């Protein structure tokens, strides 16, 4: 699968090929996390389409219907109009949500009858009929799957990039395309305000995606329990991760039983979620340690372990690990890399961004021992401050040298003294 991005975040124009294991390495502020955010948003949009459609329809119906009914209540005595009283009952909204055609037909018939009975209110009732027609049109448009998917992708991108998706250095449209073999699965043009064009052919290839960008969620996950996609305080991936960690996902067999390297073995314990106390705990040496007192490195490994246990790492899903080496000793980085490569050998699809030479080298060594394809990319900025992605799959030494340069410089300084 080939991904092309133009004018998104710090990226001007880049293309990469996804493999079972895809590794993007580079310094901080190089744009390496952008790919993961975009893939997360796209995958979630495709797979959340049915729920999002239902939610949007309910919100549109509730808002438009409420506006019409309030005007009717203010202009007619409901005690004298039992047919209007029926429209005011909550049961009518449930009817119109379950069977929109029948419900909106009943509403339009009632408005037409009122217009015939009350010519003095002709203008008002004609205005309300237009509102009913607007409601009908909006619902019909919402059912168009492609438009809904593009709208969801756009909303999720704005959530992930804090409303600023498009590249600041350019006034051109942003652009995404995904090519799966001979077929262009997705093509979409947009800016920070709206999407303008799009082509969608079939499904995206993943039934789920999970983005992990740090261990602190174990402490503040309760703050994002009631997420609204229009609320930009938290990116959507945190809400998705919180739900999965506390047990909102179903278990998929085939991954955990076959993984030799249990991450809990590394830190000699197990991180769990206690539903009764609504908190995460580390079980270790007969002790039960609250999330606020768990070491950050153990939290980082514990999150991945929980996702594996709950079935969120599977052959039809995408796991995105953004700098997973953070808070980990080099020894633990190597063990995590070994587990990542074991998972990809079992069919999992994992995207890793890293600035650690230990993590990078370990991923290369363990991936070469397996049979599944892996891709390695180096990310750096040129003199014009444009981000470049270079395929280094056959030789990662250039990336290792770039990431190790600060240490080499320190050693040189030490020699000078």
Rg of the chain over all Cα atoms, to the nearest angstrom? 26
Cα 345 to Cα 361: distance, rounded to the nearest angstrom = 18
**Is residue 367 in some structural domain?**
no
pLDDT tens-digit profile of 263-309?
888 999 999 999 888 889 999 989 999 998 999 999 999 999 999 98
**Domain end (from 142, 161, 188):** 142
Q: Residues 388, 379: contact at Cβ < 8 Å? A: yes
* Helix, strand, coil distribution of the chain in percent, nearest 5: 50, 20, 30
Q: Say how many domains are in the chain.
A: 2
Greatest pairwise CA separation for the chain in angstroms: 99
Strand ranges of the sheet holding 287-290, from the earlier edge strand across to the other edge: 270-274, 279-284, 287-290
Exposed / middle / buried, residue 238 (Cβ in 10 Å: 0-12, 13-18, 19+): buried
Torsion 348-250-217-304 (CA) sign: negative
Do 131 and 218 lie in one domain? The reply is no
Question: Across 39-194, where does the E strand assignment appear?
Answer: 174-180, 183-190
Q: Residues 297, 332: contact at Cβ < 8 Å? A: yes
Residue 342 confidence (pLDDT): 92
Cα 19 to Cα 190: distance, rounded to the nearest angstrom = 27
**Domain end (from 299, 314, 329):** 314
**Is residue 275 in some structural domain?**
yes
**Domain end (from 142, 163, 197):** 142
Which segments of the chain have a pLDDT < 50? Answer: 249-254, 257
Cα 417 to Cα 413: distance, rounded to the nearest angstrom = 7
Do 218 and 309 lie in one domain? The reply is yes
Do 218 and 301 lie in one domain? The reply is yes
**Is residue 61 in some structural domain?**
yes
**Is residue 5 in some structural domain?**
no
What residues have CB less than 8 Å from 121, skipping those under 6 apart? 75, 114, 115
**Is residue 49 in some structural domain?**
no
Question: How far is residue 193 from each of residues 10, 46, 131, measured CA to CA in Å?
Answer: 18, 20, 25
Q: Residues 11, 186: contact at Cβ < 8 Å? A: no
Element (H, E) at 134: helix 122-142
The residue with tokens 């509102």 is 131
Question: How far is residue 195 from each of residues 45, 146, 220, measured CA to CA in Å?
Answer: 14, 12, 33
Question: Across 100-251, where does the E strand assignment appear?
Answer: 174-180, 183-190, 195-200, 208-212
Do 220 and 136 lie in one domain? The reply is no
Q: Give residue 229's domain range.
A: 214-314
Q: Please report, to the nearest 10 degrees, the dihedral formed by the alpha carbons of residues 361, 364, 365, 367 taken in order.
A: 150
The residue with tokens 């019909």 is 140
**Is residue 359 in some structural domain?**
no
Residue 225 confidence (pLDDT): 57
**Is residue 391 in some structural domain?**
no
Q: Please report, to the nearest 10 degrees, the dihedral formed by the alpha carbons of residues 57, 58, 62, 64 taken in order.
A: 0
Do 137 and 222 lie in one domain? The reply is no
**Is residue 112 in some structural domain?**
yes
């Amino acid at each position: 699968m080939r991904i092309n991005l133009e004018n998104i975040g710090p990226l001007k124009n880049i293309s990469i090929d996804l493999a079972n294991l895809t590794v993007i390495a580079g310094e901080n502020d190089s744009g390496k996390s952008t790919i993961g955010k975009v893939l997360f948003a796209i995958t979630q949009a495709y797979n959340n389409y049915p729920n999002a459609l239902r939610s949007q329809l309910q919100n549109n119906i509730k808002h438009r219907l409420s506006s019409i009914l309030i005007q009717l209540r203010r202009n007619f005595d409901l005690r004298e109009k039992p047919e209007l009283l029926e429209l005011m009952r909550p049961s009518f909204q449930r009817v119109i949500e379950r069977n929109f055609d029948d419900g909106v037909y009943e509403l339009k018939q009632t408005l037409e009858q009122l217009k015939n009975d009350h010519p003095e209110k002709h203008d008002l009732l004609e205005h309300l009929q237009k509102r009913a027609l607007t409601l009908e049109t909006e619902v019909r448009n919402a059912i168009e799957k492609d438009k809904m998917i593009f709208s969801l992708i756009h909303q999720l991108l704005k959530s992930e990039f804090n409303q600023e998706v498009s590249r600041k250095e350019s006034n051109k449209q942003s652009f995404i395309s995904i090519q799966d073999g001979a077929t262009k699965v997705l093509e979409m043009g947009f800016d920070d305000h709206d999407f303008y064009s799009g082509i969608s052919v079939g499904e995206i290839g993943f039934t789920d995606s999970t983005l992990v960008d740090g261990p602190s969620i174990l402490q503040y996950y309760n703050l994002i329990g009631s997420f609204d996609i229009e609320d930009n305080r938290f990116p959507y991936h945190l809400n998705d991760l919180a739900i999965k960690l506390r047990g909102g996902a179903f278990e998929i067999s085939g991954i955990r039983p076959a993984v030799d390297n249990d991450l809990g073995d590394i830190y000699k314990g197990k991180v769990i979620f206690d539903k009764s106390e609504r908190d995460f705990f580390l079980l270790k040496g007969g002790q039960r340690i609250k999330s606020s007192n768990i070491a950050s490195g153990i939290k980082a490994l514990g999150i991945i372990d929980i996702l594996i246990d709950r079935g969120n790492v599977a052959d039809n899903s995408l796991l995105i690990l953004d700098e997973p080496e953070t808070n980990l000793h080099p020894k633990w980085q190597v063990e995590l890399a070994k587990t990542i490569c074991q998972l990809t050998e079992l069919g999992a699809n994992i995207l890793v961004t890293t600035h650690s030479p230990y993590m990078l080298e370990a991923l290369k060594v363990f991936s070469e021992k397996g049979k599944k394809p892996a891709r390695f990319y180096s990310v750096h900025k040129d003199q014009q401050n444009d981000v470049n992605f270079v395929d280094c799959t056959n030789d990662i030494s250039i990336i290792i040298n770039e990431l190790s340069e600060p240490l080499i410089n320190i050693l040189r300084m030490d020699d000078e003294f």
